[in-house]
């Protein structure tokens, strides 16, 4: 007959073993859910000099081209005839240098499934030293929190939708300087004068 103390020891062993297995399973789930240290520390663009120009394209639809002038201010080279709010552009485009990868995809779905055979957007960056780097942006991820992206080095990754949308939003909403106005005096019905403001063309 097995002694009572033996049953107690056996029960304690089973409890400890069960707890260890549960902890190990939970730890594996946490490791899978969290981004790797390597992917969390990597930036989407390898920018080693000042950004000199940026080309944003919604493929098959619209293109915006931005460039720094000799004074370091941002200008809009396409579409033509627009006067850029340089400070606002600098704030938005500055995010490109620090845009991080949420997850590096070593075992990625097919390019077609990620929308990267026919990308929705393309970003081309020209640095002051003449180097060019780019990224193709495909579909949103199933959770809607990121985009599938392929960089210049052909690396596949997921990048925050919020971060990319702030830059891609410039395609439709370029920040422009307010149009200056001048006061014009016109006769009023009571013999006085009425002052109205009219836009002044900028060179």
pTM of the model: 0.68
Q: Is the pLDDT of residue 194 over 80?
A: no
- Which sign does the torsion angle of CA 146, 148, 149, 153 carry? positive
pLDDT at 171: 96
32 band by pLDDT with thresholds 50, 70 and 90: very low
Provide the β-strand partners of residue 102: none
Predicted local distance difference test score (pLDDT) of residue 16: 76
Give the model confidence (pLDDT) of 80-90 as tens digits: 999 999 999 99
Average pLDDT of the residues in 27-44: 50
Exposure of 85 by Cβ count < 10 A (0-12 exposed, 13-18 middle, 19+ buried)? middle
Mean pLDDT across the stretch 94-120?
90
Average pLDDT, the chain: 81
pLDDT range class, residue 14, cuts 50, 70, 90: confident
108: confidence class by pLDDT, cuts 50, 70, 90: confident
CA–CA distance, 83 with 175 (Å, rounded to integer):
9
- Reported as a single tens digit per residue, the pLDDT across 159-184 is 999 999 999 999 999 999 887 655 45
* One-character DSSP codes across the chain: ---HHHHHHHHHHHHHHHHHHHHHHHHHHHHHHSPPHHHHH-BSS---S-EEEEEEEETTTEEEEEEE-TTS-EEEEESTT--B-HHHHHHHHGGGGGPBEEEE-SS---TTTTT-SS-SEEEEEEETTS-EEEEEEEEEPTTSSEEEEEETT--EEEEEHHHHHHHHGGGT---BPPPPEEEEEEE-TTSSEEEEEEE----
Percent of the chain with pLDDT over 70: 70
The pLDDT > 90 percentage for the chain reads 58
Q: Which residue has the higher pLDDT, 165 or 196?
A: 165
Structure tokens given for 124: 């081309």
Please give the pLDDT value at position 145.
Answer: 92
Tell me what pLDDT residue 182 has: 52
Domain residues of the chain, as ranges? 4-34, 39-171
Residue 150 and residue 57: Cα distance in Å, rounded? 15
């Amino acid at each position: 007959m097995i002694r009572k103390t033996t049953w107690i020891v056996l029960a304690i062993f089973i409890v400890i073993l069960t707890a260890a297995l549960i902890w190990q399973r939970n730890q594996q789930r946490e490791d899978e859910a969290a981004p790797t240290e390597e992917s969390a520390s990597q930036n989407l663009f390898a920018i080693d000099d000042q950004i000199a120009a940026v080309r944003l394209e919604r493929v098959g639809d619209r293109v915006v081209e931005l460039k720094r002038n000799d004074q370091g201010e941002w200008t809009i080279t396409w579409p033509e005839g627009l006067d850029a709010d340089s400070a606002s552009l600098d704030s938005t485009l500055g995010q490109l240098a620090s845009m991080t990868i949420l997850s590096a995809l070593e075992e990625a779905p097919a390019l077609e499934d990620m929308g990267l055979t026919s990308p929705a957007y393309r970003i081309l960056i020209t640095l002051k030293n003449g180097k060019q780097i780019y990224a193709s942006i495909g579909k949103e991820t199933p959770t809607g929190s990121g985009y599938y992206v392929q960089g210049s080095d052909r690396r596949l990754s997921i990048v925050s939708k919020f971060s990319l949308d702030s830059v891609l939003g410039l395609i439709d909403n370029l920040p422009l300087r307010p149009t200056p106005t001048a006061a014009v005096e016109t006769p009023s019905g009571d013999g006085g004068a009425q002052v109205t403001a009219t836009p002044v063309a900028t060179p």
